[in-house]
């Protein structure tokens, strides 16, 4: 379990905290914090999707 988590979930949290500025969640309550995490995850996934689509079409991000 630990090995699977380290290879799937932990790199995402590391990227969100280190590169996308998600060190603190400045909201009140669990529901608001969940919204912040979901929006951050959506932004992370969209960024990965755009990188994949641009490589697939040969755009190289330009």
Query: In the chain, where are the structural domains located?
Result: 2-56
* pTM score of the predicted model: 0.67
- Select, from the ranges 7-16, 32-41, 50-59, the one with the highest average predicted confidence (pLDDT): 32-41
Summarize pLDDT for 17-52 with one digit per residue, the tens: 888 788 888 899 999 999 988 898 898 889 889 988
Helix-strand-coil split of the chain, %, nearest 5: 70, 0, 30
Q: Which helix (H) or strand (E) holds 53?
A: helix 30-56
Looking at residue 60, what is its pLDDT? 59
């Amino acid at each position: 379990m630990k090995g699977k988590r380290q290879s799937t979930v932990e790199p995402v949290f590391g990227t969100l905290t280190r590169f996308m500025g998600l060190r603190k969640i400045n909201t009140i309550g669990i529901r608001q914090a969940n919204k912040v995490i979901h929006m951050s995850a959506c932004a992370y996934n969209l960024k990965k999707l755009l990188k994949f689509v641009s490589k697939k079409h040969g755009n190289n991000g330009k």
